[in-house]
């Protein structure tokens, strides 16, 4: 069985969006082969940096790595012209106060006008910062690579503002938009944009746990050029 098919099987049981715990016996049953063969396949995927794996008492805790995601992305592109798939994933995170960058970026006309045009909302000048739980961190790798709805970069004054990918979401029943810069200093955080101040609407404080449903993929109308500058 080739690596792509092995990764597809792992993705099907959740290893693309989350860390999963799986025994070699269970993986063997999933593949219809012996425990020994399944163990060998997992070792091969790990040695080629296609999965990240840590052994525990209850099995192996694993997820598909960015390199494994690239391999799957290649398979996806082959099917993309034939099959249109829209998926959603439920994640859990913790609310925290950021440094105010979200409000600064959303005050820029270049971002605000695109959000109005694409999503039909006049964004509140600030974002709700949500730190994802560790099992849900792989979702960020997926969102950064797209496909998503592209917000184009622009130049304002002497400053270049980078592009980002956006995804519709629902957080505790309130609709919003996740903005994901291709390059960011935050490796565990999503920033949610809404036309209302979500902290007040949902009565949220720092440290509160929230549940969010993220919709993906949504094919960008224009892939554009990704800037190396920091986005919102």
Q: Which pLDDT value is given to residue 81?
A: 55
Q: Quick one: which of 132, 131, 143 has its CA closest to 69? A: 143
Q: Which pLDDT value is given to residue 115?
A: 92
Radius of gyration from C-alpha coordinates of the chain? 19
Q: Which long-range contacts link 198-205 to residues 24+ away (Cβ below 8 Å)?
A: 198/124, 198/128, 198/171, 198/174, 199/95, 199/128, 201/174, 202/171, 202/172, 202/174, 204/95, 204/128, 205/95
The CATH fold of domain 87-216: Elongation Factor Tu (Ef-tu); domain 3 (2.40.30)
Q: Domain ranges in the chain?
A: 3-80, 87-216
Provide the token pair at 165: 């990918």
The CATH fold of domain 3-80: Arc Repressor Mutant, subunit A (1.10.10)
Q: Quick one: which of 166, 179, 161, 178 has its CA closest to 231? A: 161
* Dist CA 188 CA 140 (whole Å): 7
* Dist CA 145 CA 156 (whole Å): 26
Q: Which pLDDT value is given to residue 77?
A: 78
pLDDT string in tens for the chain (232-residue length): 788 889 999 998 889 888 999 999 999 998 889 999 999 999 999 999 999 999 888 888 999 999 999 999 888 777 665 555 567 889 999 999 877 777 788 888 888 899 999 999 999 988 899 999 888 888 888 888 777 888 898 888 888 888 889 999 999 889 999 998 766 656 788 899 999 999 999 999 999 999 999 987 544 344 433 333 334 5
Provide the token pair at 188: 């565990």
Helices (H), the chain: 3-12, 24-31, 35-47, 66-80, 101-106, 109-119, 138-145, 198-201
> How many CB atoms sit inside 10 A of residue 153's CB?
20
Q: Which pLDDT value is given to residue 228?
A: 33
Q: Quick one: which of 108, 215, 202 has its CA closest to 163? A: 108
């Amino acid at each position: 069985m080739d690596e792509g098919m092995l990764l597809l099987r792992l993705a099907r049981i959740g290893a693309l969006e989350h860390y999963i715990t799986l025994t070699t016996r269970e993986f063997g049953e999933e593949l219809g082969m012996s425990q020994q063969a399944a163990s060998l396949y997992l070792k091969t995927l790990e040695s080629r940096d296609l999965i990240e794996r840590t052994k525990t008492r209850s099995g192996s805790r694993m997820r598909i790595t960015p390199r494994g995601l690239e391999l799957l992305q290649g398979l996806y592109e082959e099917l993309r012209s034939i099959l249109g798939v829209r998926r959603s994933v439920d994640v859990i995170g913790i609310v925290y106060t950021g440094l105010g960058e979200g409000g600064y970026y959303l005050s820029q006309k270049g971002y605000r006008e695109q959000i109005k045009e694409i999503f039909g909302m006049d964004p509140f000048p600030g974002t709700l910062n949500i730190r994802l739980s560790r099992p849900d961190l792989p979702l960020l790798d997926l969102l950064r690579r797209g496909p998503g709805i592209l917000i184009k970069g622009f130049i304002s004054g002497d400053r270049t503002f980078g592009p980002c990918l956006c995804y519709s979401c629902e957080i505790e029943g309130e609709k919003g938009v996740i903005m994901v810069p291709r390059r960011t200093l935050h490796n565990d955080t999503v920033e949610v944009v809404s036309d209302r101040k979500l902290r007040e609407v949902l009565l949220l404080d720092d440290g509160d746990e929230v549940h969010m449903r993220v919709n993906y993929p949504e094919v960008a109308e224009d892939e554009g050029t990704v800037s190396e500058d920091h986005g919102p």
